[in-house]
Structure 1
Amino acid sequence: MRVFITAGEPSGDRLGAALMNGLRDMAPDVQFSGIGGDLMIGEGLDSLFPMDEISVMGVAEILRRYGALRARVRQTAEAVIAAAPDVLITVDLPEFSLRVARLVRQASDIRIVHYVAPTVWAWRPGRAARMARHVDQVLALLPFEPPYMEAAGMRCDFVGHPLVTEPVATPDEAARFRAAHAIADRPVALMLPGSRKSEVARLAPIFGEVAARLQARRPDLQLVIPAAGPVAQMVQDLCAGWAGDPVILDPREAGDFAPAQKRAAFGAADVALAASGTVSLELAAANTPMVIGYDMGWLSRQIIGRLLLVDTVTLVNLVSETRTVPEFIGRNCRPGPIADALLAVLELPQAQSDAMQLTMQRLGRGGPPPGQRAAWAVLDGLRGPA
């Protein structure tokens, strides 16, 4: 069995590696080619070129890198067609993946599977119909997504979210974190301004003003800032002068212990302010109540703001079918209301706790690992209708 698989971001690399592992368990003779990062390479992939060359986000960045991206799209499609695999699996990164899929479909009948459904439930629903012209099957992370894909004519399998298999801190690990940083029994607020430079540059000043307001009203509150690796120095520079002498967790200093340190911080926290995105599910997995604050570039804000179809962008709210997580997006991302919401959540966290537990259950916690479910779905799709 021959599989051509592509990913372009660390999250996609993790999904791709777990899927590859699941496929090898079920089809030991499988051979892989494609594009991926260290994790997929560790599963036996010889990457066509470095994965980060196709990682793009936001309208402005896509326009700036359009020429280089277009060349990589064509190179990848030509490699797929030449390899003639049993299946092409594109993981997330629709700006790249779906362009490759279109070129491959124009030149062949190779089965095409896309892993991670586009957010057609949130904006631009017409993407599903356009996708169906050249994608046969979609693997969805969220339980409410299959009907949107199936209505457009594609098979869609909910395979679970990878976060349900990630370890979380034990109470002892959380207690040791508090002891290591002399926090004792004081309440802890996490500040998570993002993992991309553009996010941190935009959100850190706002989150810093929130921190000042929190310290003025709750001087006993200990701020903890777990910095993401790619922006660790930037976080150090922008957040070191925040009120309250925050604890900044730098993964460069922690080395191999960094993931465990981050988990312990999440487990020790009483509340969190986070940028929008998957981090809300990481917090839900740790049962840490949260408030979401996010802003974007002017062009992206104008486009997305006009096309958005839902009244919330927070996955905990969407999956649990509640609106328990306060969010402040775009022009509403202002320090005063955010600080008020954080203090309110800190005082009354139970409604969020219930919603977070329901979210993790619906995402597949307690069931088979998503990588195995995804592998089974791919193989079942190759077998065709019963």
Structure 2
Amino acid sequence: MVAGEASGDLLAGLLLGGLRQRWPDLQAVGIGGPQMALQGFDAWWPSDKLAVRGYVEVLRHYREIVGIRRQLRDRLLQGERPAAFIGVDAPDFNLGLEADLKAAGVRTAHFVCPSIWAWRPERIEKIRASADHVLCIFPFEPALLAEHGIAATYVGHPLANVIPLEPDRAAARRALGLDEGDTVLAILPGSRASEVQYLARRFFDAAALLRRDRPGLRFVVPAMPALRERIDAIAREAGMADALQIVNGQSHTVLAACDLTLIASGTATLEAALFKRPMVIAYNMNWLSWQIMRRQRLQPWVGLPNILCQDFVVPELLQEQAEAPALAQAVRDWLDAPSRMQAVHARFTDLHHSLRRDTARLATDAIETLLEG
């Protein structure tokens, strides 16, 4: 198995739980993170080696990443071959590896259909050449893949089962030392170093503006432990070190506790939607990477909640729009419209129901069928 970042590690950890129930003596090896390690995964490389986003950023790490993929491929093919290879997200890394393994006779599955419905539709041919089976987390994807002769199964989104339909806000606030009457803004600047580089200062500057006219507003920042030092430094640079409650990890506790969130586009936005939280989605990246990605978009939305709802349910401020004054105003717009916040809660509850399935069992069933050939 290969999972390339924090969200992939979480998905892979959930899947491994189901696989181990079916096959208690399972040996799982490859590239992974702490959630996979809890399931007995043997990580030959840590998943954060692959946690790079954006064309320019990838180029800076290209030699190392390609070297890891080559070493992993050779190790899998020259030693005892695995019964199956499961690539968890990270399509730019995994699909090429899967194609080599599939050509050598190893059964391959890809968990999380690449978002060909949002951008880079040309990847459909690469998926067909790489994956014997695709495990889809969104209900419309299997039919789309079937049109191109790719076997796929809708397994639901694992997070829809992990996150309760009605999160316990009071318990989460107690865990974080927050009062029930506090108004809480969760700030999530991303799980990658490049995201923190481009977004954290913008988010903290927006928080500083909000602090001036809403002095009672509380700010909580769940930080990836590996990025904590950098986030602390940016908070000091923004003059907000004393106003931000920065905690190690605990993103789910923070999302359960908050009233709304200022959040980087990515898997975390879907987590926020499953917690039924209003949000302001933002993203900023290297200019050249943005120009390339912008031309490959197929839909007007970038945030997963908006894509799944096929509507601008929550605001998106991208690239040059993601400036502190605009971010702060978008947060104020939510706080000044309680009825709008209630409406989005109902919309996200419907979304949650549509994504709830017994993911571990359905995915394990599909993998067992693949192994039986």
TM-score (ref. length: structure 1): 0.86
1:265 corresponding residue in structure 2: 254
| 1:91 partnered with 2:88 | yes
Identity fraction in percent: 34
C-alpha deviation, 1:173, in angstroms: 0.9
Inter-partner Cα distance in structure 2 for 1:201 and 1:87: 37
Aligned in 2, Cα 1:293/1:39: closer, same or farther, shift over 3 Å? closer
Q: Judging changes above 3 Å, is the alpha-carbon distance between structure 1 residues 338 and 56 closer, same or farther for their aligned structure 2 residues?
A: closer
Amino acid at match of 2:87: T
Change (3 A) 1:289 1:53: closer
**What residue in structure 2 maps to residue 114 of structure 1?**
110
Query: Which among 223, 228, 233 is matched to residue 232 of structure 1?
Result: 228
Query: 1:93-143 CA distances to partner (integer Å, 9 max, x unpaired)?
Result: 12221121122233x232211111111111110101222023211111222
d(CA) in 2 for partners of 1:120, 1:279: 20
Give the one of 100, 104, 107 matched to 1:103: 100
Cα RMSD after superposing both structures: 2.5
Structure 2 counterpart of 1:194: 190
Question: Which residue does the alignment assign to 2:352?
Answer: 360
Aligned counterparts of 1:42 and 1:221: Cα–Cα separation in 2: 36
Task: Give, in angstroms, the shift of residue 291 of structure 1.
Answer: 0.8
| 1:296-329 per-position Cα deviation (integer Å, ceiling 9, x unaligned) | 1112101001111111111111223332111101
Letter in 1 for 2:342: Q
Asked whether the 8 Å contact 2:170–2:257 carries over to 1, the reply is no
Displacement of 1:243 in angstroms is: 5.9
The secondary structure found in structure 2 opposite 1:310 is coil
Residue 170 of structure 1 corresponds to 168
Distance 1:188 1:34 in 2: 39
Unmatched 5+ stretches in structure 1: 252-257
Q: Structure 1 residue 349 and structure 2 residue 349: aligned?
A: no
Residue 161 of structure 1: which of 157, 165, 183 is its match?
157
Whether the aligned pair in 1 keeps the contact of 2:53 and 2:194 (CA below 8 Å) is no
1:173-232 CA-partner distances (Å, limit 9, x unpaired): 145257x34x55242222222222222222122223322332343333222223232221
**CA separation of 1:297/1:165 partners in 2, compared to 1, >3 Å: closer, same or farther?**
same
Whole-angstrom distance in 1 between the partners of 2:233 and 2:39? 37
1:321 aligns with 2:310: yes
What residue number does 1:7 align with? 3
Q: In 1, Cα distance between the equivalents of 2:350 and 2:275?
A: 13
Structure 2 length-normalised TM: 0.89
**Judging changes above 3 Å, is the alpha-carbon distance between structure 1 residues 49 and 145 closer, same or farther for their aligned structure 2 residues?**
same
Equivalent pair of 2:52/2:192 in contact (CA under 8 Å): no
Give the aligned partner of residue 205 of structure 2: 209
Give the SS at the match of 2:42.
coil
The alignment of Structure 1 onto Structure 2 pairs a total of residues equal to 366
8 A contact 1:192–1:274 mirrored in 2: yes
- Alpha-carbon contact 1:89-1:113 (below 8 Å) kept: yes
SS in 2 for 1:117: coil
| Structure 2 counterpart of 1:274 | 263
Q: Please show how residues 13-162 of structure 1 align to structure 2 within 5 Å.
A: 13-82=9-78, 83-106=80-103, 108-162=104-158
Q: Distance in 2 between matches of 1:340 and 1:114?
A: 40
| Structure 1 runs of 4+ with >6 Å offset | none
Do 1:89 and 1:115's aligned partners in 2 also have CA atoms closer than 8 Å? Answer: yes
User: Which residue is equivalent to 1:254?
Assistant: none
CA change 1:209–1:159 in 2 (3 A) is same
Gaps of 5+ in 2: none
Matched residues in 2 for 1:84 and 1:224: separation? Answer: 46
Change (3 A) 1:289 1:211: same
User: How far is 1:274 from its partner?
Assistant: 0.7
CA distance in 2 between counterparts of 1:184 and 1:91 reads 38
Q: Deviations over 1:213-267 (max 9, x none)?
A: 323433332222232322212222222454695232232xxxxxx53xx444323
- In the TM superposition, residue 22 of structure 1 has moved relative to its aligned partner by 1.4
In the alignment, the residues of structure 2 paired with residue 29 and residue 312 of structure 1 have an alpha-carbon distance, to the nearest angstrom, of 43
Give a deviation string over 1:53-84, Cα, whole Å, max 9, x none. Answer: 44433212322222232222222222333333
**2:372 maps to 1:380:** no
Q: Which stretch has the larger CA shift, 216-225 or 371-380?
A: 216-225
The residue identity in structure 2 corresponding to 1:361 is H
C-alpha distance in 2, partners of 1:213/1:23?
Answer: 48
Distance in 2 between residues matched to 1:45 and 1:205, nearest whole Å: 36
CA contact (8 A) 1:90 1:97 kept: yes
